[in-house]
Amino acid sequence: MRHFLWLLLIAAVMIPASLSAQTDTLVVTSDLTTSTEGNLNNAIGNIILSDSLNHTNNLSNTVFMLQPNGYYILTGTITTPPHSHLYLYGPTPGGTQGESLPQIAWSSSGGVSTTYSFDCYGDLTMKNVWVLSATSIGSQVGSSIVLEDDSLANLSGKGEHLDMDGCIIDYNNIGNGGGAIEPSCRHFRGNITNTYFRNLTDSHYRYYGRPVSWTYQSTTWHTDSLIFENCTIANVGYGYMQEAPEYADYVSFNHCTLFNTMMYTLESSYWWNLSVTNCVFANSYLFGDQPSADGTNMVPVGGMVNIDSAATAGFPVPFTDSSTAPVNLQRHILFANDSYGYEKWYINYLASNPVNDTAGAANKFNVMPAMSAKTYRFFGGIDSSTGKKLWPYINAVNLYPLDTATTTNNNTSYASYTGGADPGFILPPSNADSLKAFLMGRWATGANVSWAYDPTSDVQQIWPMNEDLSYSNSTLMTAAMGGLPLGDLYHWWGTLSATNYYTSWQAQSAAEREKIATWLNTGNITAVKERGGVIPAEYTLSQNYPNPFNPATQIEYSVPKNGFVTLKVYNILGQEVATLFSGIQHAGSYTATFDGSRLASGVYFYRLQAGNVSIAKKLVLMK
């Protein structure tokens, strides 16, 4: 098994480490400057042709640099040869129209196949580029960026790599039957950071439009690793789709905002290792839960995640749900510091609409709970004979909110549900009227309705974009690890925003990734929660309670000013056995939970460190 974890979390932000190794930068002139189409096709195509004639690989040694606010019209698919690496870059965007990301769109001329915008038989690195699946006159087309199988990459074990940073992937629907990014290879490895997947919608099919997905019923392909970090996924059919009969070794979402997902946010249970941390889920599974469609047990699938037994996959998988199996053969799933909620317009619409007003209880469309009771059992199920977790490496901690609409599996109308953790987005990319009409079309009338948000501005390359997914919910503002806001910090709390939390996150990102990897690998989950009250006057560390303890105990501490704080546990040899907190923390009083269920009985020490302050105390684990 490929047990990536910590190394892959490190790799998430190293995009691309090999840029400095490139020897040539070719500036590609905007099509608007030359009043022609196909400048990007020609620039890349000329080097590919020269490589073919001269038996060279200059393509892999060239960075194609697009111009700020540039506009590039594709006159055909850009296909790269086997064993190559395409580097496509734009400048760092600014806050004015002239500093917009360069945009790639399609020619409106007839006879152009738009199935693939980029068909790569090698690796692809893309940074600060806006890829629009529409023609120059605004017609939506089905296009995908595809990574094809490379035999040499398979033999070497390298696999096919996609590195994408600071990009916008816009207006894709189903393309070739997969996602906006379509892996078609045996060893796909994707690092997607600071990228906005926007308006991946279809006017008819509610399940069309996915950031990353295999083609339907593909075989032999495989995801080695896929990482999303500081990404926004808004107005899509599915958030992420792992299509059967394929499974993934490792999938990670960290600091992502997932908004207006028509169906599954995370579809299928075919993950060996999955971590979803510091994320905002808002308006998930807008299609709703209809009890009569839930099967004989009337159990909703869940809008955040749905976990089934590995035995139900229907195809061979190398992992198991048995807690007696070797650790590396068990599934590792972590949900930590995530929120789930809905905007008020949606709650009100479910309370009264032409379908629900007349339908019986079994046929009403209700709010989809975050997880079903079946899924929650994977996270918290206890063996009654031993008192231990049934699945010790499947864990959830700090999920907002923990209310009846997210913890029950009954199928009421949720009339009292107030929206859960509604972030209170400042300017959400949400057209409520179009969404209502689309839902009514799928529920009853059959009408086809485009529910994309402001696609005209996309086609016109309006910059900055007409939305703002920063938010006003004060709880979520400090609910992420390190006391930072949940969700995508790059786009909505970054250097171009009124409040820059992204830079603060970068300062503690390595420690955050280490914590996530530790929690996922070991199942040793600790939780730190703020207690509220007045700002403390000094650093304090209280004696844990209870003490002695088995297996968990509470540790209270106070921080009088903002800064980098660590709270760690050590054995009597001075070896670190647990990190309860490591990151930037604002002034306040906190309670940490330490679970010692995997440690031996004995004396341990816990230490609070902040700046020049170091306070330590002793605790006793007695089993």
pLDDT digits 0-9 by tens, 343-377? 999 999 999 999 999 999 999 999 998 888 888 88
Q: Is 32 a residue whose pLDDT tops 70?
A: yes
Q: Which of 501, 599, 608, 452 is nearest to 544 (CA)?
A: 608
pLDDT of residue 396: 84
Q: Find all residues with CB under 8 Å of 237, minimum gap 6, and list them.
A: 200, 201, 202, 205, 206, 207, 208, 209, 210, 261, 262, 263
- State the pLDDT confidence band at 8, using cuts at 50, 70 and 90: very low
pLDDT band at 269 (very low <50, low <70, confident <90, very high): confident
pLDDT tens digits, one per residue of 203-234: 988 988 999 998 777 788 899 999 999 999 99
Residue 366's φ and ψ, nearest 5 degrees, are -120, 170
Residue 501 domain-assigned? Answer: yes
Identify whether residues 190 and 66 lie together within a single domain: yes
Residues 110 and 216 in one domain: yes
CA separation, residue 218 to residues 183, 240, 243, 247 (Å) = 10, 16, 8, 11
90 CB-near residues (< 8 Å, 6+ apart): 65, 66, 67, 68, 70, 101, 102, 127, 128, 129, 130
What lies within 8 Å, CB to CB, of 135 at 6+ separation is: 105, 106, 107, 108, 141
pLDDT (mean) for 195-201: 96
Distance in angstroms between the alpha carbons of the first and the last residue of the chain: 34
Task: Examine the fold and report which residue of 488, 513, 538 is the final residue of a domain before the chain moves on.
Answer: 513
In a domain, 519, yes or no: no
Task: For residues 292-307, give the mean pLDDT.
Answer: 83
Mean pLDDT on 532-552: 93
Looking up residue 534, the CATH number of its domain turns out to be 2.60.40.2550
Asked if 487 and 256 count as a contact pair (C-beta separation under 8 A), the reply is yes
Res 443: pLDDT: 96
Overall average pLDDT of the 59-85 stretch? 97
Whether residue 458 is contained in a domain is answered as yes
Q: Last residue of some domain: 513, 543, 562?
A: 513
What is the rounded CA–CA span in Å between residue 103 and residue 130? 5
Q: Mean pLDDT, to the nearest integer, of 446-466? A: 95
Q: Are residues 579 and 489 in the same domain?
A: no
> From the CB of residue 522, how many other CB atoms can be counted at a distance below 10 Å?
15
**Among 354, 458, 365, which residue's Cα sits nearest to residue 414?**
365
Q: Given 3-state DSSP classes, what are the helix, strand and coil percentages for the chain, each rounded to the nearest 5? A: 20, 35, 50
**Which of 479, 513, 547 represents a domain boundary (last residue)?**
513
Q: In whole angstroms, how large is the CA radius of gyration of the chain? A: 25
Q: Which of 78-92, 318-332, 465-479, 576-590 has the lowest mean pLDDT?
A: 576-590
- Give the closest residue to 169 by CA, choosing from 255, 97, 236, 80: 236
Residue 565 has pLDDT above 70, yes or no: yes
Q: By C-alpha distance, which of 173, 165, 88, 169 is closest to 122?
A: 88
Share of the chain above pLDDT 70, in %: 92
More confident residue, 576 or 206: 206
Residues 470 and 383 in one domain: yes
Q: Which of 333-347, 413-427, 441-455 has the lowest mean pLDDT?
A: 413-427
The phi-psi region of residue 345 (left if phi > 0; otherwise alpha if psi is between -120 and 50; otherwise beta) is: alpha
Same domain for 457 and 588, yes or no, is: no
If asked whether residues 533 and 445 sit together in one domain, one would say no
> Do 235 and 330 sit in the same domain of this protein?
yes
**DSSP class of 483:** G
347 and 396 assigned to the same domain: yes
For residue 609, tell me if it sits in a domain: yes
Claim to verify: residue 508 and residue 414 sit in the same structural domain: yes
Q: Domain for residue 191, yes or no? A: yes
Residue 454 pLDDT grade (very low, low, confident, very high; cuts 50, 70, 90): very high
608 and 487 share one domain? no
Verify that 431 and 563 share a domain, yes or no: no
The answer to whether residue 1 sits within a structural domain is no
Does residue 298 lie in a domain region? yes
**Domain around 410:** 6-513
Q: 481: which residues sit within 8 A by CB, 6+ positions away?
A: 277, 278, 336, 337, 512, 515, 516, 583
pLDDT at residue 586 greater than cutoff 80: no
Spell out where 481-601 has E strands. Answer: 527-530, 540-541, 552-559, 563-571, 576-585, 588-595
Q: In this model, does residue 408 exceed pLDDT 60? A: no
Determine, yes or no, domain membership for 15: yes
How many structural domains are present in the chain?
2
Question: 381-399: per-residue pLDDT in tens?
Answer: 877 777 677 898 998 877 8
Q: Domain check: are 380 and 335 in the same one?
A: yes
pLDDT of residue 419: 58
